[in-house]
Amino acid sequence: MSLVDVWFVLIAVLWAGYLILEGFDFGVGTLLHLVGRTPAERAQALRTIGPVWDGNEVWLLVAGGATFAAFPEWYATLFSGYYLALTVILVALIVRIMALEYRNKHDDPAWRRRWDAAIVVSSALPAVLWGVAFANIVGGSPLAADGSFAGNFLDLLRPYTVLGGLTTLSLFCLHGAHFLALRTEGPVRDRATALATRLWAPTVLVVAGFAVWTLADAQVVRPLAVGGTAAAALALLAVLPAHRAGREGRAFALTTVAIAGAVVLLFATLFPDVMVSSGPGPDLTMQAAASTDRTLTVMTVVAAVMTPVVLLYQGWTYWVFRARVRPEGTGDVRTPLDLLDRRAGGVA
């Protein structure tokens, strides 16, 4: 396996990590008004992602940076062609950060309602647009003979790509509902549990339709693409029995596998290209888009050193905040210092 192949796989892993971790963030935000009927209940739901959402977004920065460094031509074509969609995603992420930070800065109910609405919109919009973007990458974008993007924003919206957007939205909402069921107590948990049951069938249908369409349109159906589809399908089919049995951790792990399987399907279908052309220009291949061997070698060394550190830190964060979030005012852990204080005081 060449370094070009290695970095194609690593970028797929980075995107899988981002979509899995940020996926439940998006799901929690999108479902906010459905699981929380009062400001206190919505605050409880948001406290499940409060300690981790910013760390989850690091995966997006790393995935984008790795794409720029390892495949600069891919990065250039992608961002020049999808600049409007990516700008909308960026603005939505900025608004979401502001909403999460400013929501609790003022006690006025109208203030919180506005920021809560902003959280819902700024969570649902990227959830849809990421699916639209990846569906365009795999399904084909209008590329000119020189490899540049030759279309406009409306060219990105086709039945297949809209289905891709609905696929990521439904997966993230199901993922987020199971995360809330796993991490909360009280009415929020009860509503998240009920939502997870209701979301299951529509999610299975949408994901199945997108997977079948992707495989049917693929130039070459590779075993890994079929394997990713099978993993996602089996995981989704196993979610409902685990959920009904009260195995919330298992159900959440299965939605994680489903998202990972979908990423495997997309990248295995895309290989050995990084952009499929639906226009007069040729497909953009990995080899044509890749950096020099020296650049890839340096990147590999840096990744080998830094990746374990990042994984250990993020794993520690999730371990510290593993307890269920209780309704407001019951003393749940918010920071590592809170945990140390509680243990020092003899509170388990």
Counting residues of the chain whose pLDDT is more than 90, the rounded percentage is: 48
Quote the mean pLDDT of the chain. Answer: 87
Mean predicted confidence (pLDDT) in 209-226: 90
| Higher per-residue pLDDT: 212 or 320 | 212
Mean predicted confidence (pLDDT) in 248-264: 95
The encoded tokens of residue 320 equal: 């510290």
**For residue 187, how many other CB atoms are within 10 A of its CB?**
15
Mean predicted confidence (pLDDT) in 297-311: 88
Highest mean pLDDT among 8-22, 129-143, 271-285: 8-22
> Backbone phi, then psi, for 85, in 5-degree steps?
-65, -40
State which amino acid sits at residue 134.
F
Residue 3 has pLDDT above 60, yes or no: yes
**For residue 114, how many other CB atoms are within 10 A of its CB?**
14
Mean predicted confidence (pLDDT) in 282-300: 88
Place of tokens 């991490």: 183
**Contact 44/186 with Cβ under 8 angstroms?**
yes
Q: How far is CA 299 from CA 7, 66, 70, 176, 214, in A?
A: 9, 8, 8, 33, 32
Mean predicted confidence (pLDDT) in 19-37: 93
Tally of domains in the chain: 1
Mean predicted confidence (pLDDT) in 237-259: 94
Mean predicted confidence (pLDDT) in 154-168: 91
Rg of the chain, C-alpha, whole Å: 21
pLDDT of res. 173: 96
Report the alpha-carbon distance of residue 119 to residue 27 in Å, rounded: 11
Provide CB contacts within 8 A for 331, sequence distance 6+: 342, 347
Residue 199 has pLDDT above 90, yes or no: yes
Mean predicted confidence (pLDDT) in 75-104: 87
List pLDDT tens digits, range 109-136.
Answer: 888 889 999 999 999 999 999 999 999 9
pLDDT of res. 21: 92
User: Residue 329: left (phi > 0), alpha (psi -120 to 50), or beta?
Assistant: left
pLDDT of res. 328: 64
Report the alpha-carbon distance of residue 50 to residue 335 in Å, rounded: 10
**Contact 178/253 with Cβ under 8 angstroms?**
no
CA 143 to chain centre: 27
Give yes or no for a cis peptide into 272 (omega within 30° of 0).
yes
| Higher per-residue pLDDT: 111 or 209 | 209
- The one-character DSSP state at 290 is -
Q: pTM score, two decimals?
A: 0.89
Supply the range of the domain harboring residue 119: 3-344
Nearest residue to 208 via CA among 191, 227, 230, 193: 230
Report the alpha-carbon distance of residue 98 to residue 197 in Å, rounded: 31
List pLDDT tens digits, range 43-69.
Answer: 899 989 888 887 788 888 888 889 998
